């Protein structure tokens, strides 16, 4: 049994979608895809179509970070561009040791450190291309039904 909701999203407004297919890897991503597809203020959006190079602090080698989404949205009369990462809130904070087995804690620590490196690279990259990098969690996606 899968823990996460996954699949391919078929946009009802394909003219707004950038790319060949929208693969969602969680219910949060699916919710965001639906928002992008159905919101008239969203002019363009894409899924994993922006690649940001970064150096991993774990192996000090170059890697490629596929940012979850790119979106162009009209905010008032201004067209804003965002690189959007969608993560559960828990994964945006340092892992805690409470009730953790050592192996699981090490995995969470590595993931956290790697994500921080990816996100810092994405912030720098987004400034270069005239975007803003944001992280959306269930707090933003579920509370704004």
Q: What is the pLDDT of residues 93-104, one digit of tens each?
A: 988 776 667 777
Residue 2 has pLDDT above 60, yes or no: no
Using pLDDT thresholds of 50, 70 and 90, give the confidence band for residue 108.
confident
Residue 14 has pLDDT above 70, yes or no: yes
| Residue 143, both tokens | 């509370």
Using pLDDT thresholds of 50, 70 and 90, give the confidence band for residue 28.
very high
Cβ neighbours for 139, distance < 8 A, ≥ 6 positions apart: 89
Q: Which residue has the tokens 């297919």?
A: 21
Return d(Cα 53, Cα 122) in angstroms, integer. Answer: 8
| Residue 23, both tokens | 């693969």
Q: Are 28 and 4 within 8 A, CB to CB?
A: no
Summarize the confidence of residues 107-122 as an average pLDDT: 94
The structure's pTM equals 0.88
pLDDT at 55: 97
Residue 1 has pLDDT above 50, yes or no: no
- Percent of the chain at pLDDT exceeding 90: 77
Q: Are 1 and 26 within 8 A, CB to CB?
A: no
Considering only CA atoms, which of 58, 35, 70 is closest in space to residue 141? 35
Residue 43 has pLDDT above 90, yes or no: yes
Q: What is the pLDDT of residues 54-87, one digit of tens each?
A: 999 999 999 999 999 999 999 999 999 999 999 9
Task: Name the residue ranges covered by the structural domains of the chain.
Answer: 46-143
Mean per-residue pLDDT over the chain, rounded? 91
Summarize the confidence of residues 17-38 as an average pLDDT: 94
């Amino acid at each position: 049994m899968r823990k996460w909701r996954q699949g391919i999203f078929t946009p009802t407004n394909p003219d707004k979608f950038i790319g060949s297919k929208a693969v969602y890897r969680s219910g949060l991503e699916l919710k965001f895809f639906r928002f992008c597809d159905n919101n008239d203020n969203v002019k363009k959006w894409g899924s994993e179509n922006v690649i940001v190079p970064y150096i991993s602090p774990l192996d000090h080698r170059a890697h490629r970070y596929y940012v979850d989404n790119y979106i162009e949205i009209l905010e008032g009369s201004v067209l804003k561009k965002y690189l959007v990462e969608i993560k559960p809130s828990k994964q945006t904070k340092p892992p805690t040791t409470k009730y953790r087995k050592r192996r699981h804690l090490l995995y969470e620590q590595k993931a956290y450190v790697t994500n921080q490196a990816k996100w810092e690279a994405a912030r720098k990259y987004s400034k270069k291309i005239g975007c803003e990098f944001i992280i959306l969690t269930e707090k933003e996606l579920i509370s704004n039904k």
